[in-house]
Amino acid sequence: MEIELTVNGTPTTIEAGKEADLATALRAVGYKGVKCGCDGGVCGASKVIIDGEARMACGMPAREAEGSDVETIENLGTQDDLHPIQQSFVDHFAVQCGFCIPGMIMEAKDLLSETPDPSEREIREAIDDNVCRCTGYQKPVEAIRDAAGRLDGGGVATDGGTATGGGTAAGGDHCD
Amino acid sequence: MTDNETRPDGGTASRADADAEVEDIDHSLDVDESANNRLDPEERQSVSRPTEKHDDRKLVTGEAKYTADYEEQFPDLAHARVRRSDVPHGRVADLDTSAAESMDGVLAVLTPWSEDVPDAKYTSAGQSYPEPSPWDMQVLNEKVRYVGDPIAAVAAEDEQTAEAAVGAIEVEYEEHDHVLDAGEAYSEDAPHLFDPEDVENKIVGHDYERNRMASIGGSLGDVEAAYEREDTHVHETEWETIRQSHAQVELHTTLAYTDEDDRHVVITSTQVPNHTRRQLAHLFDIPIRDIRVKKPRVGGGFGGKQAMVVEPIPMALMLATGRPVIYEATREEEFQAMRSRHPMKVRAKSAVTEDGDIEALELYALSNTGAYGSHGMTVAGNVGSKPMPLYSNVENVRFEADVINTNTPQTGAMRGYGAPQGTLALEGHLDEVARDLDLDPIELRQRHYMEEGDVDEIAGMMGGEGAKRVIRSCGLDECVERGMAAIGWDEIEQPDAEHLHRGVGMALSAQGTGVAGDELGGAQVMMNEDGSFHLMVGGVDIGTGADTAFVQIAAEVLGCDERDIVVKSSDTDNTPFDYGAYASSTTYISGRAVKKAAEDAKGKILDWASRMLGEPVEVLDTADGEVYSEATGASVTLEEVGYESVYGDETREHILGQGTHSTDESPPPFAAQFADVTVDSETGEFEVNKLVVAVDCGVAINPGMAEGQIEGANHMSYEMATNEGITFDEEGHAEVADYDDYAFPTAAESPSIESILVETHEPTGPFGAKSVAEVPTNTVPPALSNAIREAVGVRITEMPITAEKIREKLSE
Ligand code: FES
Ligand code: FES
């Protein structure tokens, strides 16, 4: 079936099977920055922003995206001109294998558009359903905090240095 | 093939007299270190600078290509799926594939009896040759040994059809009794997984009558005599670890096709391209030269891809269909049929005098290797050979391990490689001893741990190269000191609430850097006429940043901008040989090969510059993209040298530098872990306030990347302390199918981790580097167990540490 939607500002028609999920459909038309790391709706690697909200594209049937406005990682910066969130991830060494990163950056973008100055706790909650196996979340959290400053134009840590610890640590639900 | 000998470090046997006394030091105390290897911080141009990770811009824009992203280049790509055993132990009595075969879009259905399916025995372990793992596997299996063992494979036009076809295959089993627990499997009357003739390349100590695939050990001095002594206290403790999943976010994925030159190309998410090429050649009886293994970007490995896990399936289907085939595992398969960390029970025993002299130290491990023995013996060997040498001053030491097959998914290599299991037992045990004898836990350790200049015999006591190892760099003192300061060891404040108790605990760890005497890396530097370079290297970047470290090492030698080096890695047709990314070897071994290749090229560059400047080579050096004279200050640019060498009037030369590196050395990196925890004594609930880990990795080639490795490893270690891992029901079905079942510590559930880099200089490593990525994987379980013991007085020895276990112990 044909699905009409807007991807990264461009009206797009996607040809997709009835059962196809949006992640597969987007990948099929070239948005390879949408990653798949689980059997659907859990790992966060396929997050895109749908009508202003970060969601896992694989958890949504492509047909439900009819008429939606979808933004993928491809809509952010280019290699020569990174978006401030992307630049912050690079500067903080927050990227290892990178597989989880597009999804995490889309979630961060969503977070920062609603909460321009998030606490460490708020950042951790926001990316709570973005599985990253490489970083232990430490540097991505620091990168997102710094990105908030960069987007804000104030309080920018330009040295790529470590954001302050903030004192909030484990949530505690790991122990039950 | 005859039985293999033990080589506990992950290498191949080279020493039959494992227990024989070693008279000579295997390598000299002195190391011939070139002057350029030891640079003061202010002399460094590239090394230990925060160079941007070279693939990051592609990664953050989503443009980097992992294996699955190659799909679009193959319009006729077929998709593979695998039918796996539903029973934990049995024989496939009948397989009806007719319904699957007649489905529209199905291209091939392969069974254990199909012509295109190899029936050779092999091990999936990606190790050197001959592998120190038994050849006990087959690609598709008539005899099945765990729920998930592959039985049949399908290629179809699309994934849904392949999936449907796999479901349409009807299997009848002749079921056998099964056994899931290593202790039970090791008893006389347990069902047997293997007849001895089922296995080739058997490993020392195998006893298939008792499901034992290997047994190894070694000792120094006389532990028994120390236990008997009147002035020693003997302590014995027992510890248990989880079956941890690698859970790397990129699924195991392989795309196989035959190219225009009739060569078989395998694009695959692997840590071991060269081993995989050799193993595929063995299985399919195709010459090594006709197979090309190409590693694109890899989405994490952690040991789970130090194995040829999925590659034979698309290869067989590609040969059967004549079409390119991709096989991307599902997450469920990842948890149920790929690899995991060997769950173990480890017993620790010691003899310690009243005033804290450790007279004897002993570990015994019972390891559950699952259905097949890949990495079974070598991981078990590392339970002893990695952590125990920390206390190289202890004279009487013994280690033994039995490795047992069970009807559970096979385990494999995983970051830490046995050291986490051994470190939990050793560091938890010492903490208990210190408490019992009223000794300071840090001082007890400090009195016995190794120092620079020590000769360590423990790492080699089970055989292998480097039986006596000289410790040439050791930053343990500083790791402990800075870790204590960062956690606030002496100034812990108790919470106001009476039911809340705060405690800090610590643990130490040592790892190795590469497999002593069993590594090889190769590299080539080619100069372009514009003064830039191509760096061809076999070393495997699986997301670690290795490619960036290679570039920094080469740039430091060549005196050029890092952006003037184009790195090409891990393509067996185009890059030199390399054993692969494992055993913490990449920066040390492959990086050293890069350094040699760059030095070779630099020598030729200086020769050309010498002719061009009319000055002797001795006064020339490179920096900032130039060759300059220390005598006159005259200079030529690398670009001028590049053009002159290629287009010169009189003579011409393509400046090529080559390097290959192999060594008997495996210097240990060190870690000091600290955990700060608050425990609720009413509920047993606990909160980890902070983790601090200080690591001596020699000179960090890229400090930001090194910190990232430490934090990621420590998070994985934290998971080992707090997560159930993969568990099974009584019928051997895994109870974990996706990340949400696995209860992986998410961002909000993870404590903040402070990583501290302690710089030492390892003279055998490139610019002083040794490894970093494994050692912090070993330490959270003991440090957290010790912290909880400190906070509320109870000892949790069986991982994971849970509120329930604490509550139970508190009520005892
Ligand atoms: S693939 Fe979409 S969330 Fe995992
Ligand atoms: S960077 Fe590898 S999974 Fe996040």
DSSP B432-470: HHHHHTT--HHHHHHHHS--TT-EE-STTTTSSS-SSEE
Residue pairs spanning A and B at CB distance below 8 A: 223
Q: Are residues B500 and B559 in the same domain?
A: no
Whether B11 shows a pLDDT value over 90: the answer reads no
Ligand 2 atom nearest to B300, measured from its CA: 2
8 Å CB contact of B300 and A169: no
Cβ distance of A82 and B715 shorter than 8 Å: no
Q: How far apart (Å, rounded) are the C-alpha atoms in residues A16 and B583?
A: 44
- pLDDT of B325 above 80: yes
Structure tokens at B277: 């090429």
Centroid of ligand 1 to alpha carbon of A131 (angstroms): 9
Q: What are phi and psi of B93, to 5 degrees?
A: -85, -35
Three-state SS for B571? strand
With tokens 């395998």, the residue in question is B266
Amino acid identity for residue A9 in this structure: G
Q: What's the rounded mean pLDDT across residues B651-680?
A: 96
Query: What is the rounded CA–CA span in Å between residue B414 and residue A133?
Result: 13
- Same domain (yes/no): B597, B488: no
A45 CA distance to ligand 2 centroid (A)?
Answer: 9
Count of domains for chain B = 2
Choose one of B615, B637, B661: the last residue of a domain. Answer: B661
Atom of ligand 2 nearest to the CA of B59: 1
Residue B758 has pLDDT above 80, yes or no: yes
Single-letter amino acid code for the residue at B436 = D
Could you tell me where the beta strands, DSSP code E, fall in B354-395? 358-370
Q: How far apart are CA B154 and CA B160, in angstroms?
A: 11
- Alpha carbon of B199: minimum distance to chain A alpha carbons (Å): 35
Enumerate helices (H) and strands (E) in chain A, giving the number of each.
5, 5
Strand partners, B526: B534, B656
pLDDT band at B565 (very low <50, low <70, confident <90, very high): very high
Point out the domain boundary residue: B632, B661, B690: B661
| pLDDT at res. A153 | 61
In a domain, B565, yes or no: yes
- Whether the pLDDT of residue B1 is over 90: the answer is no
Contacts of A154 by beta carbon, 8 Å cutoff, 6+ apart:
none
Mark whether B651 and B526 lie in a shared domain.
Answer: yes
Do B628 and B531 share a structural domain?
A: yes
Q: Is the pLDDT of residue A161 over 50?
A: no
Q: Considering the domain boundaries, does residue B142 fall inside one?
A: no
**Confidence bin at B498 (pLDDT 50/70/90):** very high
- SS3 of residue B691 by DSSP: strand
Burial A56-80 (b: 16+ CB within 10 A, else e): bbbbbbbbebeebebbbbbbbbeee
The CATH class, in words, for A2-75 is: alpha beta
What is the Cα–Cα distance from B207 to B260, expressed in whole angstroms? 48
**Angle between helix B312-321 and B273-284 (nearest 10):** 50
Fold classified for A84-151: DNA polymerase; domain 1 (1.10.150)
Residue B653, pLDDT > 60, answer: yes
Based on the fold, state whether residues B632 and B706 are members of the same structural domain: no
Residue B250 CA: which ligand is closest?
Answer: 2
Shortest-distance ligand to the CA of residue A38: 1
Residues B669 and B809 in one domain: yes
Query: Does residue B786 share a domain with residue B717?
Result: yes
User: Of A159-168, B5-14, B627-636, which one has max mean pLDDT?
Assistant: B627-636
- Residue B15: pLDDT over 90: no
Give A95 Cα–ligand 2 centroid separation in angstroms: 7
Widest pairwise Cα distance in chain B: 89
Q: Do residues B476 and B558 both lie within one domain?
A: no
Which of B33, B39, B50, B56 lies closest to B623 in space, CA to CA? B39
Q: Is B745 part of the contact surface with chain A (CB cutoff 8 Å)?
A: yes
Domain boundary pick from B627, B661, B695: B661
For the record, the structure tokens of B177 come out as 């009794």
**Chain A residues 14-33 with a CB less than 8 Å from chain B:** 17, 19, 30-33
Does B65 sit within 8 Å of A175, measured CB to CB? Answer: no
| Domain extents in chain A | 2-75, 84-151
In a domain, B742, yes or no: yes
Residue B758 contacts residue B499 (beta carbons within 8 Å): no
Q: Which atom of ligand 2 is nearest to the CA of B299?
A: 2
Asked if B596 and B679 sit in the same domain, the reply is no
Q: Which of B249, B297, B415 has the most A C-beta neighbours within 10 Å, making it the best mutation to test the interface with A?
A: B249
Q: Is the pLDDT at A158 greater than 60, yes or no? A: no
The per-residue pLDDT for range B424-463, each reduced to its tens digit, is 999 999 999 999 999 999 999 999 999 999 999 999 898 7
* ipTM reported for the complex, 2 dp: 0.95
CATH number for B640: 3.30.365.10
Answer yes or no: is the C-beta of A100 below 6 A from any ligand 1 atom. no
Strand boundaries in B538-664, DSSP class E: 565-569, 620-623, 626-629, 635-637, 656-661
Quote the CA–CA distance of B445 and B75 in Å, as a whole number: 61
Which ligand is closest to the CA of B739, given by its number? 1
Instruction: State which residues form the domain around B52.
Output: 35-63+520-661
Is B330 within 8 Å of chain A by CB?
A: yes
- Taking the CA of residue B249 as reference, the ligand 2 atom at the shortest distance is 3
Inter-helix orientation angle B703-722/B780-792, to 10°: 60
Are B536 and B503 within one domain?
Answer: no
Is the model's pLDDT at B485 over the cut of 50?
yes
Assess whether B629 and B718 both reside in one domain.
no
Do B484 and B582 belong to one domain? no
